[in-house]
Structures are given as structure tokens and as C-alpha cells.
Structure 1
Amino acid sequence: MTLVETLGVVVPTPPEHRTWIPEVEALDTLRCTGEELEQLVAAGLVRDGGRYENYDVWNLGLLSGSGRSRPEREMVFFARVLKSFGADWVSRRRYEITGWAECPRAEDCPSRDWVAPALPDVVWEQEQIQPGRAEWRGQVVSSGMHATVRDPRVRDAWNHLLEQYRFHFTPASLSPDMASTLRRRVGDCEALCRVLLRDLLDLGIPTELEPGYIFGGARLRRHAWLRFADSDGQSKVLDPSMALLAEMFFTPEYKEFCFGSSINRVIRRDSGKEAFVTHPCVTGDNKIYYEFILRPIRSAQESGITAS
């Protein structure tokens, strides 16, 4: 499909949830020409002056099939990681983690009041507070699990969701709005999880939404998945957004893995804490989000180092 044709399958972001990016960023995200961008505007892509709706642009790039857009390139990189480590989705892995947050007032920030990210599995070892910035360093160990779902009701609910919904990048303000997701039939990881959560709870299956982050390269991205009690009494994981993306970018094996199994590339966030920072300089709807980078810590044997 052309970009203009792809625009027809993008579900627009509701006006009250729109966020904006400049034209240079829209061009960079889509990797298109100025002429192509004008054609998209003529076909209905939302533009306000010289600004474009961020999520519409990202979803257009994701679905474009061009192979050159930023969203596609990120997914292709993640696909390489999954392919390269296909036999290593569940092994115990140790990482060095760096987290940071920056005040929009930068060095003019008058406060040194920062709270370390609430990640239950992370051991924070260092904290560095500077004007307008806080940084934390530590370690985390992550392990996955292979599992088979036994309850046929879970399979039915899962299949229904994958057949009826599509993945879309979604504003954080819109993801919790399940009525909107049910109406639009698209959503991000949290939005899709909330729909499946409702369906499983209606069936009497104990289920909870787990927030966290996923490791698809160096940078961690916010993510969410479900954990439920299967009929065999075991706790298992459902990751509908990654299953839908697997249909487009990954493998059938990884799509099936998302149904019951958990990968060693996710880190839990405390479900009682937000992904953004509580900071005196933040007011109203503005938010400062934590950012994270992971680096694998390899053993001497893995690194090719031998003892002398």
C-alpha cells in the first residue's frame, strides 16, 4: 500500500488526546518526502499549522509496509533480537540498569527532590542528583518461563481479542479508557490488556494487569501484560500487544510464546506506582517520565575471558 492508502486504515487519535510534533519530526518518522506529506494532509492526516499529530504519524509509519519508517525499523531491530535469541527467551539474564529523569527547567530547577524508580526486581546501588537531573544505577536479574495454557476459556478470549483488535500506538491519557478501546478496536499494550482483563474476570478467572518495561535494544519502553491463574493452578502470562506485533514483524513461534509464557526481557514496575516522576516542578497534566537503559552483564566465560 502507498502511505495515502495506509492512512485509510489508521484510526485517528481523538482530538482531546492529540499531541503534536513538528514537520521535521513527522518527515523523519515516516522517512517520506515533503510532497508525500502534503499528499497525506490532503487525504486527511491531521495538521495544525506546522504541527502533526504524533500518534497518527507513528501508526501510519508502523502500518505503512515501507520498511523505512522509524516504527518499522524499531520493530525490525526487535525482531532480530528475538530471532537471534529464540532459544534464549527464558534463561536467567543479569543486566546493569541506568535510570534517569530530567526536569523541564533543566539547570534552573530549584529542587533536588527526586524519588528512585519503583522497580521491585532492581537493586539500586548508586544515586546522582544534579541541578535538573537525577540518575540511578543498579542491577537486575530477569528470567522467563515456558508455559502452556490449559483453560480453553482463556484460549477463546485470547483468540477473540487477536481477531477483533489491532495494535496502535496510543496516548498514555487514552490507554486506560476501555470504552474508547472497545469502540475504536485499536490500542497499545495497556489498552489491549484492559479489554482482555475484563473478559477473563467476567469468566471468573483470577487475572491482574502487570505494568513494566520491555527491553528491545538498549532503551526500555513502557509495557504491560496480564498474569492469570490457569486451571492447573499455575500463574501464567498473556502479552496480547506483542502477539499482534508478532503477526506483522516477528514469528509465529513468538506469537504463540506470548500466550502463556514470559520472556526474560521485561522488568516489572510496582503496580502501585506511576511510570512518571513526582517532582515539585511538575504541575497540571505535564509529566516527567523515567527513562532506562539496560546493558547485559556477561560472565567471564560468555565474554571470552579466561582465568590466568
Structure 2
Amino acid sequence: MSAGGLHRSLALLYPIPARHRRADTGRAEAGQLLGCDDATLSDLVRRGLPATGEPGRERFDSRDLFNLGLYAGTGQSMSEQVFVFALRWMRARTEALLAPRTAAFSARVECDAPDGCGDAPRSVLARPLPKEYDGDLTDYATDPADAGDDDTVVSASPSLGITATLQTRGELLPLRSAGARAAVREFLGADLRWVKLPEDLQADVDLMLDRGVASCASASRWLRQLCVEAGVPATTRMGWVVGMEMVHAWVEIEDTDGVTKVLDPIFALFAAMAPGANPVFRDPDQALRTNRLVPTALAAGEPLARHSCGGRTVPARLTTKILPKVSS
């Protein structure tokens, strides 16, 4: 196979900074993830692909490998193949993006501290709020059953789980505000690439603008900023995506007709990468809220799951499944 695509992608790679790097992938798996042979992998290391360890036994950060493969354009990397499969729903007709959907939701947060869970553990999880978008939440239950619940977040000790049935629906509305349309066009015109980033960098707008690497949080924060600068009231919101188990962020604006509308900058970037994607995702004159969004009360950059123990905040492990339910 030609290594040209991987070489071009490597020239654009934003390497995971050393302070965030984790050597979690060996050579054999790295070659499989990139869809390349051993000689090509060695060549990529010589050209600057970050690695640790002696030659022939290097270890890599899986996020570097994912980001490198995603923009290789070979169709042979695991990240390209996963992306095409995960985003196949973006080819759907507009009516299918808006129609009511039903999904089984489950989420669990646990301590992920490397040294084990400490004293007085507490887990906190954002509550799904589909009613914010004309949806509904039924069969709602927490584990433990007596978890604290203030209708926006749930908390318990030491771990916490939520199960529910979600009803979601989409909405497509004309974007009336000239300022909002201009903001969307400016975003679409920027040379941005979605990449996997460490959690601490995902909401960093300056990094996005300096290096062209975007997460849903940084993209949403910047698009909100562009809207506000254009005189359009705007906020951000965090949530999940049905069928992708993906933590996601987007923008809400108050349009000139008084209606709150959704702008989804990362879905616009995804649509440029997904073969045959419905053009409505990148239409600057339309506000599309797909039926796959599950909102919470949190803003972009706020963690959907938190855990504290031993008197400090520690890493939280969030496991989420949001699976479409088929009517019997």
C-alpha cells in the first residue's frame, strides 16, 4: 500500500502533548489501527510520530494513532472505517432526521482513580432531559434507588447508574438572524479538523484557532462567541448522541423570531467527512436539531460525570449505552 496518505496526515497531526500522553498501544496494534505494515510504521516514527521505548518495541498514544489514521484518506485505517460506519445515519433523508425516535438509555459512573477509590466516595451524573427538546423520559430508575436527584444531576455513593427509555425528535427551522447565518458561514469557512483530545484540552478555543483541531466543546464555544459578537443571544449545551454513546456539545441561539434554535458545529464538520451526508447538516440558512440529541442542563466543557473521594476530585469512568428500540 502507498504510505503517502499517512505521511500527509502526519504533517498535519497535532500530537498529544507530552504531559497528557499515555503509552497505551504497542507496535502490532498500532499497525492494525493505521492499516499499515511494519516498515511503514517505522518510517512514520522516523518522520516524527510520537513514540516511547526502544526501536522495534515502541509504544504509542492511541489518540495520536486515531487522529493520524482518520485523515490519511486511505480507507484502510481503523479510525476511517469506524467513522464511516458510525456516521452512516448522516446519509438519511431529512424526514428521518426529524422523526420521533425511542431509545434505551443506560449510564454508569464509577471511580477511575489509578490508586483506587478513597474515603467518602461520591459520584455525580448529569440527568438526560429530552423534554427540553419536545421529547420524553419514561421508565426512569437510578442505582442505588435512593440516589439524590435535583432534576438536573443525580448523585450517590460510591457509584451511580441511570436507566431510562428516551423519546427524542428533531426540528428543522429557518435561520432568520443574519448575524447567526454569518457566524455559521465563518465557522464553516475555517480550516478545522475534529480530533480526539485529552479532556483538559477539549474546551480550549485558543488551541483550536491556533492549531485547527476542534472538539465539540471548543467548536461550540467558538460558534457561540461568534454569535454573541454578532449580537445573537447564544449558549452552549452538553449531552449525548443516540446510537453513538458519544458525549457531545452544541449551540442554542435565540433567533430574531424569538424561537430557540440549535446550531451543531461538529455535526457540520462530520458531514464534510461522511460520504453522502445530507447537505442540511452544512446549510448555513437552516437550524437543524437532529432526533439523536439527548440534552442535559450542562454547558459545553462541563463534565457529564464526576467522582470525588479522599477529599479530592479524581478521574471518573463513565459507561454509556443509548440503543435505538425497535417497536415489536
Query: Normalising by structure 2, what TM-score?
Result: 0.79
Q: Does the 8 A contact of 2:107 with 2:319 survive in 1? A: yes
Between stretches 250-259 and 229-238, larger displacement belongs to 250-259
Residue pairs, 1:63-212, within 5 angstroms: 63-84=71-92, 86-104=94-112, 113-121=122-130, 122=137, 124-127=140-143, 134-169=160-195, 170-212=197-239
Alignment-mate amino acid for residue 268 of structure 2: A
Q: CA deviation at 1:84?
A: 4.7
The 5 A counterparts of 1:254-265 are: 254-256=280-282, 259-265=286-292
The match for 2:319 among 291, 294, 298 is 291
Match of 2:152 in 1: none
Q: Which letter maps to 1:292?
A: T
**How many residues get paired?**
296
In structure 2, what is the equivalent of residue 33 of structure 1?
37
Question: Which shows bigger deviation, 245-254 or 219-228?
Answer: 245-254
Q: Give the deviation of 1:231 after TM superposition.
A: 1.8
* 8 Å Cα contact 2:205-2:221 kept in structure 1: yes
Give the Cα separation in 1 of the matches to 2:16 and 2:280.
Answer: 29
1:306 — aligned with what?
none
Matches of 2:297 and 2:311, distance apart in 1: 21
For each residue in 1:3-54, what CA deviation from the matched residue of structure 2 results, as whole angstroms up to 9, or x when unmatched?
1222112233333443442224433432322222111111111112233233
The CA distance in 2 between the partners of 1:229 and 1:105, in whole Å, is 41
Aligned twin of 2:133: none
Q: 1:274 aligns with which of 300, 303, 327?
A: 303
Q: Which amino acid aligns with 2:47?
A: A
> Are 1:104 and 1:132, in contact at CA under 8 Å, matched by a contact in 2?
no
1:253 and 2:279 aligned: yes
Q: Distance in 2 between matches of 1:181 and 1:105?
A: 29
Question: Structure 1: how far apart are the matches of 2:318 and 2:326?
Answer: 25
Residues 265 and 161 (structure 1), Cα distance of their counterparts in 2 relative to 1, 3 Å cut: same
Structure 1 residues 19-28 or 203-212, which shifts more? 19-28
Q: Partner residue of 1:3?
A: 6
Q: How far apart, in 1, do the equivalents of 2:125 and 2:216 lie?
A: 24
Alpha-carbon displacement from aligned partner over 1:88-146 (angstroms, at most 9, x marks no partner): 1111212111112343479x8577754454223355324259x9864332121111101
**1:75 partner SS:** helix
**1:167·1:245 contact (CA, 8 Å) conserved in 2?**
no
Task: Decide whether aligned partners of structure 1 residues 282 and 158 sit closer, same or farther in structure 2, where only a CA change above 3 A counts.
Answer: farther
The alpha-carbon distance between structure 1 residues 200 and 113, as it changes in their structure 2 partners (threshold 3 A), is closer
**What is the deviation of 1:173?**
0.7
- Say yes or no: does 1:238 pair with 2:242: no
Alignment partner, residue 12 of structure 1 = 15
Q: TM-score, normalising length from structure 1?
A: 0.84
Deviations 1:171-223 (A, max 9, x none): 221122222222112211111111111111112210001111113x3x41111
Q: Per-residue displacement from partner, 1:233-262 (whole Å, max 9, x unpaired)?
A: 221111111111211214252433685110
CA distance in 2, matches of 1:17, 1:260: 36
Gaps of 5+ in 2: 131-136, 146-156
Unaligned residue ranges in structure 1 (runs of 5+): 304-308
Give the 3-state SS of the residue equivalent to 1:47 in structure 2: coil
Shifted more, 118-127 versus 38-47: the winner is 118-127
For 2:283 and 2:12, locate their aligned partners in 1 and report how far apart those are by CA, in whole Å.
28
Once the two structures are TM-superposed, the CA of residue 282 in structure 1 deviates from its matched residue by 9.2
Alignment-derived partner of residue 228 in structure 1 = 253
Q: Which structure would you say has the larger RCO, counting Cα contacts within 8 Å and 6 or more residues apart?
A: 2
Query: Considering only aligned residues, what root-mean-square deviation do their CA atoms show, in Å?
Result: 2.9
Percent identical pairs in the alignment equals 24
